Chain A
Amino acid sequence: MNRRTLMASAAIGLTLAFGGTAHAQGMDKVKACFVYVGPVGDGGWTYQHEQGRLALQAEFGDKVDASTYQENVPEGADAARVLTQMALGGCNIIFTTSFGFMDATNEVAGKFPNVKFEHATGFKRDHENVSSYNARFYEGRAVQGVIAGMMTESNKIGYIGSFPIPEVIMGINAYYLAAKEVNPDVELSVVWAYTWFDPAKEADAAKAMIEQGVDVVAAHTDSTAPLAEAAKTPGVIGFGQASDMTAYKPSPRVSSIIDNWAPYYIERVGQLLDGTYEQADTWAGIKDGEVEIGEITEAVPAEVKAAAEKMRDDIAAGTHHPFTGPINKKDGTVWLAEGETAPDGDLLGMSFFVEGITADIPK
């Protein structure tokens, strides 16, 4: 046994001793740690998680130590190393905030049964101490789709996708369906950037779309670069993604999807403190305040704003589901019959475009 494994097992022993007994009656002090895929200053996805972390620290003060976080962690083997280091460093609960951390999270969770792992946007919970949490971003996409469908002059709207994973695909489908509903002539272009965060590439993707006549650009990547690119061409609009991105108000940013993770982080760490923590799979949306629609600016006409706000309110009230039949898959087969709404299982494993989208999903 070399020194490293010795230290690792000693640390496991320690967590067993303290964590094990503490779990039943709650804990006096929780160390919460965060793993980020981008820099906290990306102005989007990671920035919002960082805001959640700061809110957590403010909420509990001395009872929670949320000072540990790591930025720019690559999805893959490096993530497992970072997680192991955090678990050994005495973290009681670790939030891993990107889809690509899923396997690493589950792998490391198996080795540290007394550390709680919370993985964002994934679906694997191989061990009792792994929970997953996600937000119904597609609800926000439907609101954006309404704006896009009504605002486009060229009838060409675009979507910069990161990776062809269910979360992104359902966002594209929701965006398209809502746009198609208000504007039957609308065409959707999809570009896969194959990155969550590469501002130069995101900007180039937006540029390529705009050059081909797309005048509404939605992005499913993490930086503000697509909006910076859209700002160069008058008449092109876009949306804040993950964060409000107010620097680009009132145009090109006409609205936004804001991820509000703070309530979830506070709830989960609070449960750990008072001993009510249990494994969970949370998927909250507009109704629960986890997905917020940023201010719709005066750059869009009042009736567009009203239609978008109606969509938002209907979704919040539960009277409208963005995926309501009849909807066919791209290959023409029936997915949802008239009046049927999509089951969560279908959405979480979504690997097809709906009828009307001409782009293909790369295999």
Chain B
Amino acid sequence: METEEQNTESSKAGFIRIESVTKKFSDFVAVDNVSLDINKGELFALLGGSGCGKTTLLRMLAGFESPTSGRIFIDGQDMAGVAPYDRPVNMMFQSYALFPHMTVSGNVGYGLKHEAMTPAQRQDRVKEMLSLVQLSHLADRKPHQLSGGQRQRVALARSLAKQPKLLLLDEPLGALDKKLREHTQFEISNIQYKMGITFVVVTHDQEEAMTLASRIAVMDQGVIRQIGPPSHIYENPSSKFVAGFIGSINMVGGEIINVKGDTVEVLAPTLGHSLQVSTSSTFSVGEKVSLAVRPEKISISRKRPATTANLLKGTVQDFGYFGKDSLYRIKLPTGHLLSVNTVNAQRLSGEEATATWEDEVYLTINRDAAMLFKGDA
């Protein structure tokens, strides 16, 4: 029992292996010695800004580019020299790349021409795919007669029709408006769960990556900066870059002035104050550090809290009310601005409204809330 379990586990792990892959375009290194394992049935996201190499990596998985060095394995098979049309991989293109001269069902069924299937089987598969993306009623339309969201779903159905081992999605939600994005996000997750196909999503949108993916690789300048589940990357970024890239963050420079067990005291001149921060890394007194706090991890109140530790005082410089939450920009006596985000969990009547412009407020930063990175900000 146990060995069998282990076997399936090990065959799941490393379903896609990227082994020290480098891709150079003449002098430009697009992907720099990247190694990565993606598990079977996983929804994996490559996240990064434009030019970080994520799309090049995706195109190498699809076979449109070949690595300058390094190897790619899909389900144990070395992909070196395997043409795109021979790979068990399909791709959903950012522009959707629907064939304008074919109908919706023509598009969805196109890849099935090359499969050993009877015409009836092919038709059934097309119907099945169209019902999966809820487009059965539009089977005879041409792409230009569809809305953006409908085109996106045709592209998804087309890329799933051949039941690839690996589906690549290039900015799948990029061209959709906000409402549609949220809906489609869940739809993609559901379809992925239903079909059990391994998905690799490329995106520059951290929200998209966080809601879709079970694991994220953050890329920058051709290098993977951190790999992990969304919550891990958000709460425990491994570097200043990742911390700044994912979510918003307040980052200031400081110096360690005291070390006591796993708690250090950091003097941050821009905050005009020293803060107690608990950390798992080791720091020595006098070391330069960057102190980072997420806006929602700072609590704000108009009354002076009982604690005096990690307490800052400031005035509300700017204030945005978004319904479910509010965003403040608090000006500290040093002139530095801190972003603070509060969830409006309580329903407020007009009189007892929370802090507003020019109010004096107190900020507390829990010692677990702040993160420390080596080196100055």
Chains A and B come from one and the same complex: no
* A interface, CB within 8 angstroms of B: none
